[in-house]
Amino acid sequence: MRLSTEQLERLSERVFKVLKASGHVGFDYTADETVEDRVLDAIMDVLEEDAKTEDRLSREAERLVQQQSHIAKASGKSLDDLVEEVKSRLAKAKRVTLGDGPDRADTLAEKVFKSVWNVDGIDFFSEDTKVQNCIARAIHRFRHDDERMIDAVERLADRKTNEERYTSSWCLAFDRYLSEVKQKIAAVQTGSAEAKTLSTLG
């Protein structure tokens, strides 16, 4: 899933707010009154670099497929499918984690943690693994290409709970409502596909 710059910015903001509300970190504004901005920038830098890495892999895969166009035609597969296959092999060879699963979130969380650790004015109150797990869950939770869905579920979690947004309990409620929304959408799509099939047969 390719996120736009604007989506990456929203994701960075949400990860930062979850981290801030977690109680795992604190900010020393006497050391640097702009510490929050610099932590947010550090998160954004990691996410942007990750996106650029995937873009480079995509371009390299496209070039390789185009160079072997005769093989591509003989395979009977679509150009997009072949590019994705080559991209996956390149990522594995270069030890780059792709996809939208927990593994990618974990990898990004490690990088984010190392990046924000070097920011003056941030204090850590929990073990490294707890901080990284908090960041990883936030990335996995909010790394979604449908911004409208995320916004809607955030409002739903606000309305259904009395919890402050991005706290641990609020995030648990968000996860539950997001899962319910996805299930409903999947059910509607399945029903529409079945209805279309029946109408075709009729």
d(CA 111, CA 6): 21
What are the pLDDT digits (tens) for 20-50?
A: 999 999 999 998 899 999 999 999 999 999 9
Query: Which position has the higher pLDDT, 144 or 28?
Result: 28
- DSSP 8-state assignment for residue 101: S
pLDDT tier, 193 (very low <50, low <70, confident <90, very high otherwise): low
Read off the pLDDT of residues 47-71 as tens digits, 9 standing for 90 and up: 999 999 999 999 999 998 888 877 7
Q: Using alpha carbons, select from 122, 136, 135 the residue that is nearest to residue 25.
A: 122
pLDDT band at 72 (very low <50, low <70, confident <90, very high): low
* Domains of the chain by residue range: 5-143, 146-202
Return d(Cα 33, Cα 121) in angstroms, integer: 8
Q: What is the pLDDT of residues 77-116, one digit of tens each?
A: 777 888 899 999 999 999 999 988 899 999 999 999 999 9
What percentage of the chain reaches a pLDDT higher than 90? 69
Q: What is the pLDDT of residue 68?
A: 80
Taking only Cα atoms into account, the Rg of the chain, rounded to an integer number of angstroms, comes to 21
Q: Provide the β-strand partners of residue 123.
A: 26
Question: What is d(CA 149, CA 102) in angstroms, rounded to the nearest whole number?
Answer: 20
